[in-house]
Chain A
Amino acid sequence: MLRGVASDLPMTACLECDLLLPMPSVAEGERAACPRCKHLLISHPKDGFSRIQAFAISALVFLAFSFAFPFMTMKASGLENAMTLGQSVLELYENGQQALAFLVSCFIMLVPAVILVAVLAVSVPLARERGAPWLVPAARLVFTLSPWSMVEVFVIGVIVSLVKLMAMADIILGISFWSYAAFSVCLTASLSSFDKSWIWESIDRVSAR
């Protein structure tokens, strides 16, 4: 079966164990895994592009909202202090930790925002079966940056801080926090449909025209 290399059959190789296979043809709603190491080869999600776009747009809206309101408020012995999402980075900067402020702002805001814009730049033309000159660089950007988005880790960080402080102060989670949590869910939902092999196959298809 592996002699297909010489034929016209499109081939693929598992990215984790390098097993050479004919490209599995998956219908909408199906996925295929490597028979040897079980690595996911391709997944064609149901209503993929609509899902990707809907969640990506929602995620961007939720992210924008989460800048506008208090993120967390603490009350202790008659004193009150509210923080915004931006302050979590600004205070680090003002405390002399510029490098850390830069890293944190990348991981929790900049990288996910760039990913979402690139996801839209790829999925909007593809959903209409159209090509665009930026398809390839935008798709590359998404797959290169995606390990560096740490939105859900930050949400867990908020919950840990909340429990840590509960004993000494009253902590109120603000609108921004809930908006940010929704942003985290939408980002994950959008990216989980953005399958590497399927997206690149779709780009091939529209570019061939």
Chain B
Amino acid sequence: MSAFPTETAAAQGLATCHTCAKVAPASLHHCPRCGASIHLRMTDSLARTLALVLTACILYVPANVLPIMTTTQLGTDEPSTILGGVVYLWHHGSYPVAAVIFIASVMVPLGKMVAIFYLCWTVGREHRTRAQQRTVMYRVTEFVGRWSMVDVFVVAILVALIQLGGLLSIHPGAAALAFSGVVIITMLSAESFDPRLIWDLERDEDE
């Protein structure tokens, strides 16, 4: 007896290679075309995804509390955090940039972590939300992942460009690395989530 819905490859004992999309019997363990390891479903998908997203949540704290960069102007150091930078830009009338940084650095990472938790939670609980909608949610989560790096790249550019010695210079802060960690780990987390789990449970509900 197979636990998989009848129309799926898994129900026939067939696994799809994630590297080359070849369908082959799962009993081979390795893809006959490209040699990558194959499984009916990604191994421990939910546990890995949750472990990674929790790590990202923990790293998100230093990423926001510590300064992302320090501006040294005429001998005085002025550290600024991610949110501090957004507030500063907003007060100085740079609304579009403030919005871009707020979306890329605050809303996207938070939204991603919430979306991943939600996807894992619904898979575990046979929630009745439509599978198609959750698949779209997964695709969006995977797509926006890289865009959060914008703020880190801005820091890299400012540090290289604003170097006027004692008059004005910018130095990177510890939050820049922590924030890159958040971006990388949430990307890995989205990658380890197996979207096919969404559809597996959808079928079980219908029956």
Complex-state Cα separation, A121 to B198, whole angstroms: 37
Chain B residues closer than 8 Å to A5, beta-carbon distance: 12, 14
Q: Of all chain A residues, which has the CB nearest B20? A: A200
Residues of B1-31 at the interface with A, using a CB-CB cut-off of 8 Å, are 4, 7-12, 14, 16, 18-23
Interface-located stretch among B50-58, B59-67, B152-160: B152-160
Chain A residues closer than 8 Å to B156, beta-carbon distance: 88-89, 91-92, 100, 104, 157
Does the CB pair A37–B160 fall under 8 Å?
no
Nearest CB on B from A147, distance (A):
7
Number of A-B contacts (CB under 8 A): 181
Does the CB pair A140–B19 fall under 8 Å?
yes
Does residue A90 face the partner (Cβ distance < 8 Å to B)? yes
Nearest CB on A from B52, distance (A):
14
Complex-state Cα separation, A188 to B28, whole angstroms: 35
Chain B residues closer than 8 Å to A136, beta-carbon distance: 33-35
Complex-state Cα separation, A178 to B139, whole angstroms: 31
Does residue A144 face the partner (Cβ distance < 8 Å to B)? yes
How many of chain B's residues have a CB under 8 angstroms from any CB in A?
64
Does the CB pair B196–A17 fall under 8 Å?
yes
Contact with A along B126-149 (1 / 0, CB 8 A): 000001100100110000011101
Which B residues contact A (CB, under 8 angstroms)? Answer: 4, 7-12, 14, 16, 18-23, 33-36, 89, 92, 94, 96-97, 100-101, 131-132, 135, 138-139, 145-147, 149-154, 156-164, 167-168, 171-172, 176-177, 180, 184, 187, 191, 195-196, 198-200
Which A residues contact B (CB, under 8 angstroms)? Answer: 2, 5, 11-20, 36-39, 72, 74, 76-77, 79, 81, 83, 87-92, 95, 97, 99-100, 103-104, 107-108, 136, 139-140, 143-144, 147, 150, 153-154, 156-158, 160-161, 163-165, 167, 171, 196-197, 200, 203-204
- Listed from nearest, the 4 A-B pairs whose CB atoms lie closest are A157-B153, A13-B9, A17-B199, A18-B8
